[in-house]
A and B are shown apart, each in its own frame.
Chain A
């Protein structure tokens, strides 16, 4: 049994200071990833700072934005009436993630920081994992690749970011508020994650000890419809093979603005900027949707086990666009 220390401060500053001071101290929120990884011997913190008593829970609406405390659970956020009205694709993505039991434990801040599901990362008996042990190689590239990424990968890591809700979040330009010892800062989610490159062990721009305190979600303009579609190997309780979160601002059958996120394909929650560019000003048609899908998947790098995902991701996006545009007309 690996002994570790456990503390539960009441103030955010204390928690941030405690983690910042020691590289082997970690935050503990819902624990749905952290504790699994500790039991499996992947993470080995000497101290856990339980943040569940910090005043970071709750949802506030102001200025066409939803301010979500980082400790708000996935279920609590999904139950917010404003999501049903103005951010349906966020609600859909939340409710298609994990299981009810997990959603009751998992926090929004923790969801954004969830670690890779890669079985090579999660099994310490596998020597080669650049994410777990920098410079050791990547067993997944030569392994079972079905649940891995095709966008944003590198020769050193192909691990997927498996969050569902992060997909509409990146599409919405959600802002992440963090607190560090030097004070607070705000980071757009689209600039929050780091693709693996040559440093797959660094997954985001947070400094050690910086704590997510709030996620700020801009509402979609009135009348903008959205949808999140998740394609997976079983109907429930499984990660996406591919997913798409789409919001379209329509004027007749002209698309004025498009926001598109893709899941199941990226090493980070994937914002499909080029697909949005294709659709902005375009007329709703099978051709424009197909062109958007082609643009979105441009540059995908596949392995034998992930080759099917390119076509599946395109079709997933096209279907989602059809659904949103169909509902708008």
Chain B
């Protein structure tokens, strides 16, 4: 059958416009908040105004009496709930409102349900709470905080680090810090729950409908078959939609109590405390090198903050273990338990923080050696996976460096600090390398071909703006030999075949291989039907001998010997044929290769006004090895969006917490800065390398790699321009006043 290497293939890789673009641009795409049910009522949440302690009393009588109010639920009246399940990403958040304890500011302590959202919100302000406050632990370096050592078992050690530093001619030993960041998808997270007996339909701003299904079933002790979760469109997530947060559970709880469909829309300030955030980090990194530029030792120790009774996967230092060929290495991760809202994945979790320290420190080493930072990186290039000792399934990082450097004009860089100028502005060039980890988990899909010759392909995945709808439509069209407009790919419904989360840059790979297999199996179904069919030119043909093209199957060596899908269905009296496919992640030991994630090289030019401390990113070249690119346009958009996110991390984003109370002090879009268009320069994206060898389709996720490296590259460029090494994000004017 058609392979993806077939030179006749036309649909894969092309910059096809998003298939959902007309829906989105005309407002016809329905996001969770756009749904409404007959008799639907509205919920609003009350958040705690202390970060630690107990609720001494909670008086909801005034709220109960407010116009339109149906009920006010507090920990005193809430039903007992199970904690949600263990997931691929770790344990579920603790069930909400189960006792009087306060563990963070903004913790949900009451749900108000009223006829209108305004009535609910007003009544929520009337709930009277008295607290018994305790001293809150809020500082990541507070010596009283409980420390979790090596919480994921990912600490690594190889060689002899002390001996490595002893051999070094140059040692860089520095402290880097990154602040809390908040995901801030544009779409306010919304949940709707509608019960019918023990069955419930849930609309949710989720990146993983099946996780919501499993969680709701377990928490409310009902069968999973009775839970349907819908998320055909989600207004962004950046990781905030990976877990089943308390507001979703409280919506289902409230709807069950009032026996009406209930909608809950978080406010923007609640988005800062309810759906995770990138936790802050303090990192100590030490790198040794010989005078000729060989790395002799790397030691990277990181600590991140985590909530009191919750978990978050954030191995900040672990990524340093695979970035370079270095014989002696130690990475060590810790977490400090604080009275903070629970962190969660935010686009490039852990990598976004860890790469900043590693790639800045590498630049420090290069500067100390008087060596070109690009040369230092190439000199210590990890040809093999440094931990597994296996060849990579694909790695075009060298091409990323060399082609990126060429496109950027890296050779024009004069190494001396402050040696490049544009009028009164100092100019700096900086770069960073990125080795993004491989992540893939099992996934399923189903493909059907109907009597009119159109195909319908489904999986319970989500498209959080990434292009999933589009690239899977392309892939199915390619595999089945159909025009794009004859294929509909649908997602976002937990009644569809199982899909993992849109996260970890792993969905495209997992889903593409499942869709590919489903389409292959569907072709086999057709061949099975005509195996003994004398009327079919395909009689007895094996899948390997057949090509799908133009709505028909034909023998690859004799294109005139074939027939249309519709002819087979008609002749055999079938309405449609379906087949399932599933993908499982490759096992490095079995395939003898280290499964590779995406790689990247980021080249940045900055301009700095040294008197006023103004920093402008003037241009960015991103050279990315993303394996097979299914759609040049959507993949490039992912890198561009990631680059903007990286500029944002580098220069703007910082969730500020009041030291005394644990309140988020800038929980609005007016106060939490992200770049505007005027802050964003021309961004060029080039793709390097080819299909990854570890999987059939050969894609590598590109959702996160674009963000990583920006902070280090910008910081390195600042150093080149000014000689000032900034080790604390974000890079703001006060740090840049020279």
Contacts and interface: CB of A to CB of B under 8 A. Distances in A.
B734 interface: yes
A41 B122 CA distance: 9
Contacts of B47: 125
A231 interface: yes
Contacts of B673: 233-234, 238
Interface string A209-246: 00000000000000000000001011111100100000
B733 interface: yes
Given A2-B122, A41-B125, A241-B733, A235 B678 contact: yes
A126 interface: yes
A237 B122 contact: no
Nearest to B674: A234
Contacts of B666: 119, 144
A233 B678 contact: no
A318 B609 CA distance: 14
Nearest to B106: A125
A139 interface: yes
Interface stretch (A86-94, A170-178, A266-274, A309-317): A309-317
Q: How large is the interface on A (under 10, 10 to 19, 20 to 34, 35 or more residues)?
A: 20 to 34
Interface in B164-205: none
B612 A231 contact: yes
A315 B659 CA distance: 31
B614 interface: yes
B612 A315 contact: yes
Given A312-B613, A315-B611, A144 B656 contact: yes
Contacts of B616: 235
Interface string A121-152: 00101100000000000010011100100000
B737 interface: yes
A285 B656 CA distance: 41
Contact of B679 (A123, A234, A318): A234
Given A1-B119, A234-B679, A235-B679, A143 B125 contact: no
A238 B49 CA distance: 28
Contacts of B678: 234-236
Contacts of A120: 665
B67 interface: yes
A117 interface: yes
B733 A312 contact: yes
A1 B122 contact: yes
Interface in A1-27: 1-2
A115 interface: no
A156 to B, nearest CB: 18
Contacts of A117: 670-671
A315 B118 CA distance: 47
A319 interface: yes
Interface in A260-315: 308, 311-312, 315
A52 B28 CA distance: 35
Given A143-B665, A315-B611, A319-B612, A236 B676 contact: yes
Interface in B602-661: 611-614, 616, 651-652, 656, 658-660
A143 B658 CA distance: 6
Nearest to B675: A234
B658 A311 contact: no
Contacts of B659: 142-143
A146 to B, nearest CB: 8
A308 B612 CA distance: 11
A312 B612 contact: yes
B110 to A, nearest CB: 14
B126 to A, nearest CB: 10
B122 A235 contact: no
B271 to A, nearest CB: 15
Contacts of A142: 658-660
B652 A234 contact: yes
Contacts of A237: 676
A235 B676 contact: yes
Nearest to B117: A1
Nearest to A1: B118
Nearest to A142: B660
Contacts of B665: 119-120, 143-144
B544 to A, nearest CB: 57
Contacts of B737: 308, 311-312, 315
Contacts of B3: none
A117 B665 CA distance: 12
B437 to A, nearest CB: 32
Nearest to A41: B125
Nearest to B657: A144
B118 A316 contact: no
B671 A119 contact: yes
A2 B124 CA distance: 12
Contact of B611 (A125, A139, A319): A319
A312 B613 CA distance: 8
B71 interface: no
Among all A-B residue pairs, the 5 with the closest Cβ atoms: A1-B118, A308-B734, A235-B678, A144-B665, A236-B678
Interface of B: 47, 49, 67-68, 116, 118-119, 121-122, 125, 269, 611-614, 616, 651-652, 656, 658-660, 663, 665-666, 668, 670-671, 673, 675-679, 732-734, 737
Given A1-B119, A144-B665, A147-B671, 13 more contacts: A2-B122, A117-B671, A119-B668, A125-B663, A142-B659, A231-B733, A233-B652, A233-B673, A234-B675, A235-B616, A236-B677, A315-B612, A319-B612
24 contacts: A1-B122, A2-B122, A41-B125, A119-B666, A125-B47, A139-B658, A142-B658, A143-B659, A144-B666, A231-B612, A231-B613, A231-B614, A233-B652, A233-B673, A233-B733, A234-B651, A234-B676, A236-B678, A238-B676, A241-B733, A308-B733, A312-B613, A312-B733, A315-B611
